[in-house]
Structure formats: structure tokens, C-alpha cells
């Protein structure tokens, strides 16, 4: 599996798991309709508590990344809007960073130049 837990990360483990799956789903590594690993098998694989994995899956379901089929498991939601929503979130973050940079006298040109290096 492509999910890794970083014990140095300040985020809770369930958030790291959810974030990892979000990236895999948004990048197309895990495709719409594909079945997610079972809670128990993923918990064993990540050496974590099944409740932690279930909490991550619940968050992914709330955020629209997966859906549950009773008795069958969890599946990746087909939702193109998720990618657009994530893009908009990134744009908002970048705008905020640009505003902060300008507040301290760092021009967009200087900022872009330093990013290209």
C-alpha cells in the first residue's frame, strides 16, 4: 500500500491515513469505483488500531471521497467536483501566501524567482 504513517508528524494517525488516500484518489492512483482495503486488513498493514482506520474512512466518506456499501465494503466515489474543490483550496492558500509575502515587501516576481531556483 502507498499509505505511510509518520510518527514525527503532529497530525493524528487517522488524518494521515485519510490525507494519504485523498492524494491517491485525486491523482488517479485509486480510481472511481475501486474497492478500498478492508478496515481490518489496512489496520494490520499499517500496524494500527482498526478504530483509527475506521475514523479515517468516516472522514473520507464525509468529505465525499468514498461511499459504503453495506456488507460489501468501501468504494471510491466518482466525483469530478472533488478535484475542482481541491484546486480551489490550493488557489486560496496560494493567494494567502502571496498576500503575506507582499505584506513583508516580497514581490510576486521575487517569490516566483526563488521558487524556480
DSSP string, 9-30: SSS-HHHHHHHHHHHHHHTTSS
As a whole-number percent, the residues of the chain with pLDDT over 70 amount to 98
Digit-coded pLDDT (tens) for 42-96:
999 999 999 999 999 999 999 989 999 999 999 998 876 777 888 888 999 999 9
Task: Judge contact between 74 and 32, C-beta under 8 A.
Answer: no
CA distance 91 to 69: 34
C-alpha cell at 26: 485525486
Query: CA 117: distance to chain centroid?
Result: 27
* H or E segment to which residue 66 belongs: strand 66-69
| Mean pLDDT (whole number) for 107-113 | 85
Amino acid at each position: 500500500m502507498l499509505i505511510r504513517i509518520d510518527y514525527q508528524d503532529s497530525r493524528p494517525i487517522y488524518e494521515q491515513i485519510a490525507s494519504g488516500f485523498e492524494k491517491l484518489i485525486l491523482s488517479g492512483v485509486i480510481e472511481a469505483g475501486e474497492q478500498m482495503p478492508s478496515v481490518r486488513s489496512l489496520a494490520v498493514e499499517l500496524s494500527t488500531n482498526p478504530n483509527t482506520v475506521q475514523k479515517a474512512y468516516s472522514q473520507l466518506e464525509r468529505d465525499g471521497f468514498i461511499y459504503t456499501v453495506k456488507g460489501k465494503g468501501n468504494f471510491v466515489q466518482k466525483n469530478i467536483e472533488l478535484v475542482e474543490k481541491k484546486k480551489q483550496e490550493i488557489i486560496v492558500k496560494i493567494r494567502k501566501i502571496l498576500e503575506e509575502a507582499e505584506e513583508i515587501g516580497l514581490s510576486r516576481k521575487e517569490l516566483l524567482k526563488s521558487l524556480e531556483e
